[in-house]
Amino acid sequence: MSEIMLPRRQWIARAGGLVAAAGAMPLLSGCDAINDAPAVRKILSMGEEMNRASQRALIDRHALAREFDRADLSPYFRPNGTRLPAGADYAAHAAAGFADWRVRVTGLVARPLSLSMADIRAMPQRTQITRHDCVEGWSAIGQWTGVQLSRILAAAGVQDRARYIVFRCADRLGDALYYESCDMVDARHPQTILAWALNDAVLPIANGAPLRLRIERQLGYKHAKYVNAIEAVASLDAIGAGNGGYWEDRIDYEWYAGI
Amino acid sequence: MAEAETPVAPSPSAPPVRVYRHRLPTRVWHWVNAATLLILLMSGLMIFNAHPRLYWGEYGANFDRAWLVIGSTADAGYLRVGDWKVDTTGVLGRWTDADGAEKTWAFPGWATIPTSYSLADGRRWHLLFAWVLSIGLALYMLWTLIGGHLRKDLHVRRSEWSPRHIWRDVKDHARLRFPRGEAAARYGILQKLSYIGVIFVALPLMIATGLTMSPGMNAAWPWLLDIFGGRQSARSIHFITAFALVAFFLVHMAMVLLAGPVNELRSMITGWFRLPPEREERA
């Protein structure tokens, strides 16, 4: 379409856009001042609490995300976020086929664990074809195989005081390693699995090898990739800036991402 | 509505007859809803900017065929719908912000909340005001049923369904020949259909398709996915219906301006509407 571009029309359109932008400028900066005011941000965050409370009340804790057939699979499952974790450490793991990868289970547990990929594959497995919904708006359907998080939590003997599960990741984004968290309802949900296979193949690095979280009733950024530690905690206050996740702490994504 | 102060038929020489046209719930809901829909539209356009592509079906991402794309080339912005592509440089896909910087987000800063890209903030506004819309609409629907607004003012009578009657209203609108006298106090067939369409079709559709995009709601009410043919179809319908509401707004504004903006605006603030006097019959 660039061949058929009319320079004059383009110029007019650009000038028009500039005039519109200049005319609206005082109004717009006013809008952004409202958006940034602390009191407004507090009011806006009420929406998340209303969504969380209403969805928790409405959705049965065991209600399943829809599972699809193989015919429904996306031709290509779009990776997002980190596609290749930086650093010699991860590269060495990848070169060794993640034979020495360990997932530590710590925090409020009776028996801290350090699981190898072989340990994880030896546990009972669940395979599910589900839709992955990015906060940006796109969706992709993939088939995931892995172990239910509830089995790992049971093996570690999670204490009653634990209210959240925190996931630590091997990929560094900007200033920190990625991290996410969920409450015990989602942690114990039957479709919440730590997946090591996508579409019948070993999980590709771009999609979170060797192990990633699937938390099917929430948006994509909750699905931590490159997971190497799981921590049971009573409060999220001491995790990052206290909002429960990498993006939650940095750009104000909602911690409850069910909508 | 439409209870005249005096039974005297208005004439050009007589003082204007006022009728109580809009009751308080209608006026309050109208203005709350107007502000809410503006915020939802502008924050929705921000959310759209995060992935300016629309698909049909359950899934859809960058490698899948989109039926609508707002994008940019090296030096232009474009809108593509199916195989039809149009240059939108300056408005969509490539535009200049208030500081003179060129941007390649789909919708320009003057149309979004906030003005510079923030999916997180767009979602915060959208998902809070979605509650205002939903609660307001539910209460208003209930009131139109209980308060008689639906039965007395919006109900389409059997005689109005006749094609001839509808066609006459279409022609009158096209000729900008608006009802005068007592007839101006009642809604015409096109008005009734528009208001019913907005209150009972478009706005509920916005809420339902919005909920269908929620992975949590999909677990609670999986039938939502069946109704709309999948999450990405719901997202497309959400977008199309939003622009149908924009179209309604534009026609609504045009009609208010043509029918007498002061009188129309006053009636939606105070409730009282001055009946335009009957045309003098040509002898």
ipTM given for this complex: 0.89
Residues of chain B contacting A72 with CB distance shorter than 8 Å = 58-59
Residues of chain A contacting B61 with CB distance shorter than 8 Å = 74, 76, 78, 134, 138-140
Interchain pair B120, A17: CB under 8 A: no
- Position A183, amino acid: D
The beta-carbon neighbor of A5 closest among B87, B130, B219 is: B87
Is A42 an interface residue toward B (CB < 8 Å)? no
Residues of chain A contacting B62 with CB distance shorter than 8 Å = 78, 138
Query: Cα Rg for chain B, rounded, in angstroms?
Result: 22
pLDDT per residue, tens digit, chain B (283 aa), is 444 444 455 555 667 899 999 999 999 999 999 999 999 999 999 999 999 999 999 999 999 999 999 999 999 999 999 999 999 999 999 999 988 999 999 999 999 999 999 999 999 999 999 999 999 999 999 999 999 999 889 999 998 999 999 999 999 998 988 888 888 888 999 999 999 999 999 999 999 999 999 999 999 999 999 999 999 999 999 999 999 999 999 999 999 999 999 999 999 999 999 998 887 655 4
Helix or strand or coil: residue A181? strand
Instruction: Find residues 210-229 of chain A whose CB sits inside 8 Å of chain B.
Output: 216-219
Sequence-distant (6+) residues with CB within 8 A of A128 are A67, A143, A144, A191, A193, A214, A216
Residues of chain A contacting B236 with CB distance shorter than 8 Å = none
A142 touches A78 (CB < 8 A):
no
- Residue-level length of chain B: 283
Nearest-neighbour CA in chain A from B140: distance (Å)? 21
- pTM of the predicted model as reported, rounded to 2 decimal places: 0.91
* Structural domains of chain A ordered from first start: 8-58 (no CATH), 70-251 (3.90.420.10)
Nearest-neighbour CA in chain B from A219: distance (Å)? 7
The beta-carbon neighbor of B115 closest among A28, A217, A251 is: A28
Testing the interface with B: which of A45, A134, A251, A259 to mutate, by most B Cβ within 10 A?
A259
Name the E strands within chain B.
3-4, 18-20, 53-54, 68-72, 77-81, 84-87, 95-96, 102-103, 272-274
